[in-house]
């Protein structure tokens, strides 16, 4: 098991990171206005965001790490073996994160240590801490939500009954109930102390990806795969308002009592703001021109909306200026380059490999190791990267033949149990072109 670490930016190469602009108002909660700013330093897209009252920001990334942004400086919580999808503050110096490696990790940010708090049988998508700060609930693609004691005093509690992946979870204000949203198209309610099902609140017909709950539990809002965006009154579950637009799927939601807004992010790069006093769309802007909005969170004072998408940075806009807000710069993702500008081999690399791997000697905080000097190298042998035990003991050397088999069979069949994403290149010519490109591009 890899020893987790809390690493300051000074331990990184200068080309990886640096925070570009951080408004003073983020660091000073008493400031009267926020400004646009970005947090740069990750080596992969931002999948989760959390904020603290003092202005500290947490970012969860596809690069397997959590960024802790305090006083304008990033620190890296490292220990996950795959992409991190969710992160939450858990009181004091405690932080909980979870991701594609099926684990929840509990961190002490002052001591710089972390440990596995619990484990699902599938990737974990969302986390929420109970109102009393004693427990954390997790939503997983293994079809369950689970409740964990942060102090380890109680055994985990499984909420079982959904027929597909659980995508989101929320505690009631008094902590006695849990609401879960699932790919089976339902929202269900559970007793948080016994795990007993209390009922089904919604059957939408398409998978429900996100939900937010009113601080007084008077309403619940949700977003679905078909673009459905609706608000229901509680406890009866009757319709309050339907904000569905012709954009799908809904991927992220956030709520700010201070701003009296619900933020809704979708796959087409829009962030829609819903006014919870008048139940109307107050703002609707294109936050990303090149990809989805995967993560949303309001600043603690409700003056800014933070968002993560395809780029390796978190972006934050002041709500006061959303009508004239500029979109994220086009993400510098080579797989977005027009096909006619690349060879077929390079195109295969950009589409299948470029988010996780670099071609040069610098790994650049990516989810996977650098491919520099790949041919003739034993799998799982590059120094400085945390491989799965499966890959380290596979006895594979990377050659034309083994790379061809990797993408012919798919990593999950060629090396079962490795961290590589499930993907294939079915056409033999495409695999040959990729191999030829890699031979040239990764040569020492």
So what's the pLDDT on residue 368?
80
Distance CA 294, CA 269 (A): 9
pLDDT digits (tens, 9 = 90+) for 90-125: 999 999 999 999 999 999 999 889 999 999 999 999
Residue 6 has pLDDT above 50, yes or no: no
So what's the pLDDT on residue 116?
97
In this structure, are residues 80 and 386 in contact, taking their beta carbons and an 8 Å threshold?
Answer: no
Residue 369 has pLDDT above 50, yes or no: yes
Q: Which helix (H) or strand (E) holds 149?
A: strand 144-149
**How do the residues of the chain divide into helix, strand and coil, expressed in percent and rounded to 5?**
15, 40, 50
C-alpha gyration radius of the chain = 22
Distance CA 426, CA 205 (A): 33
- Segment of 28-32, 73-77, 228-232, 312-316 carrying the highest mean pLDDT: 228-232
Enter the tokens of residue 221.
Answer: 């809002």
Residue 4 has pLDDT above 60, yes or no: no
Residue 9: pLDDT band by 50, 70, 90 thresholds? very low
- Residue 119, SS3? strand
pLDDT digits (tens, 9 = 90+) for 131-162: 999 999 999 999 999 999 999 878 899 999 99
| pTM (two decimals) | 0.80
Residue 377: pLDDT band by 50, 70, 90 thresholds? very high
So what's the pLDDT on residue 355?
77
So what's the pLDDT on residue 176?
98
Q: How many C-beta atoms surround the C-beta of residue 124 within 10 A? A: 27
Distance CA 142, CA 149 (A): 20
Selected residue with higher pLDDT from 358 and 194: 194
Mean pLDDT computed over every residue of the chain: 88
Residue labelled with tokens 């491989």: 387
So what's the pLDDT on residue 363?
63
- Residue 140, SS3? strand
Q: 356-360, long-range: CB within 8 Å, 24+ apart, which pairs? A: 356/44, 356/62, 356/420, 356/421, 359/441, 359/442
Residue 5 has pLDDT above 80, yes or no: no
pLDDT digits (tens, 9 = 90+) for 395-406: 999 999 999 999
pLDDT digits (tens, 9 = 90+) for 415-426: 887 777 777 888
> Cα angle vertex 43, ends 269, 421, to 5°?
80
So what's the pLDDT on residue 81?
87
So what's the pLDDT on residue 2?
37
End-to-end Cα, the chain, rounded Å: 30
Mean pLDDT, range 324-345, rounded to an integer: 73
So what's the pLDDT on residue 21?
35
So what's the pLDDT on residue 167?
98
Residue 130 has pLDDT above 90, yes or no: yes
So what's the pLDDT on residue 292?
95
pLDDT digits (tens, 9 = 90+) for 21-58: 333 333 333 333 479 999 999 988 999 999 999 999 99
So what's the pLDDT on residue 155?
87
Give the chain's largest Cα–Cα span. 65
In this structure, are residues 406 and 418 in contact, taking their beta carbons and an 8 Å threshold?
Answer: no
Q: Which domains does the chain have, with CATH numbers?
A: 20-324 (2.130.10.10), 334-441 (1.10.760.10)
Residue 247 has pLDDT above 90, yes or no: yes
So what's the pLDDT on residue 17?
33
So what's the pLDDT on residue 272?
98
So what's the pLDDT on residue 97?
98
């Amino acid at each position: 098991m890899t020893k987790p670490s809390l690493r300051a930016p000074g331990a990184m190469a200068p080309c990886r990171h640096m925070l570009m602009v951080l408004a003073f108002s983020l660091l000073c909660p008493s400031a009267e206005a926020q400004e646009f700013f970005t947090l740069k330093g990750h080596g992969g897209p931002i999948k989760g965001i959390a904020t603290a009252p003092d202005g500290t920001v947490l970012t969860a990334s596809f690069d397997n790490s959590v960024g802790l942004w305090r006083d304008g400086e990033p620190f890296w919580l490292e220990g996950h073996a795959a992409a991190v999808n969710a992160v939450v503050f858990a009181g004091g110096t405690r932080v909980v994160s979870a991701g594609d490696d099926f684990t929840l990790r509990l961190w002490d940010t002052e001591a710089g240590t972390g440990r596995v708090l619990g484990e699902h049988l599938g990737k974990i998508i969302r986390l929420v801490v109970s109102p009393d700060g004693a427990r954390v609930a997790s939503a997983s693609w293994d079809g369950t939500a689970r409740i964990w004691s942060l102090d380890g005093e109680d055994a985990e509690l499984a909420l079982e009954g959904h027929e597909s992946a659980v995508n989101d979870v929320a505690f009631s204000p008094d902590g006695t109930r849990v609401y879960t949203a699932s790919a089976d198209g339902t929202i269900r309610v559970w007793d948080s102390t016994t795990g007993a099902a209390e009922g089904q609140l919604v059957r939408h017909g398409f998978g429900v990806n996100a939900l937010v709950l009113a601080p007084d539990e008077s309403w619940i809002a949700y977003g679905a795969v078909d673009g459905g965006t609706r608000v229901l009154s509680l406890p009866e579950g009757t319709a309050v308002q339907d904000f569905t637009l012709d954009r799908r799927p809904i991927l992220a939601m956030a709520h700010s009592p201070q701003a009296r807004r619900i933020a809704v992010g979708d796959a087409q790069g829009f962030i829609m703001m819903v006014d919870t006093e008048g139940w109307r769309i107050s703002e609707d802007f294109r936050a990303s021109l090149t990809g989805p909005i995967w993560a949303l969170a309001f600043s603690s004072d409700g003056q800014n909306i933070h968002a993560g998408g395809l780029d390796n940075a978190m972006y934050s806009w002041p709500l006061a200026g959303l009508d004239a807000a500029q979109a994220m710069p086009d993400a510098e993702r080579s797989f977005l380059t027009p096909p006619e500008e690349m060879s077929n081999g390079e195109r295969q690399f950009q589409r299948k490999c470029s988010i996780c791997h670099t071609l040069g000697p610098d790994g650049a905080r990516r989810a996977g190791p650098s491919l520099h000097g790949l041919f003739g190298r034993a799998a799982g042998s590059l120094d400085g990267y945390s491989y799965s035990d499966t890959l380290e003991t596979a006895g594979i050397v990377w050659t034309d033949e083994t790379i061809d088999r990797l993408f012919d069979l798919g990593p999950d069949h060629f090396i079962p149990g490795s961290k590589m994403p499930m993907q294939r290149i079915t056409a033999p010519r495409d695999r040959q072109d990729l191999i030829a490109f890699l031979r040239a591009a990764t040569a020492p």
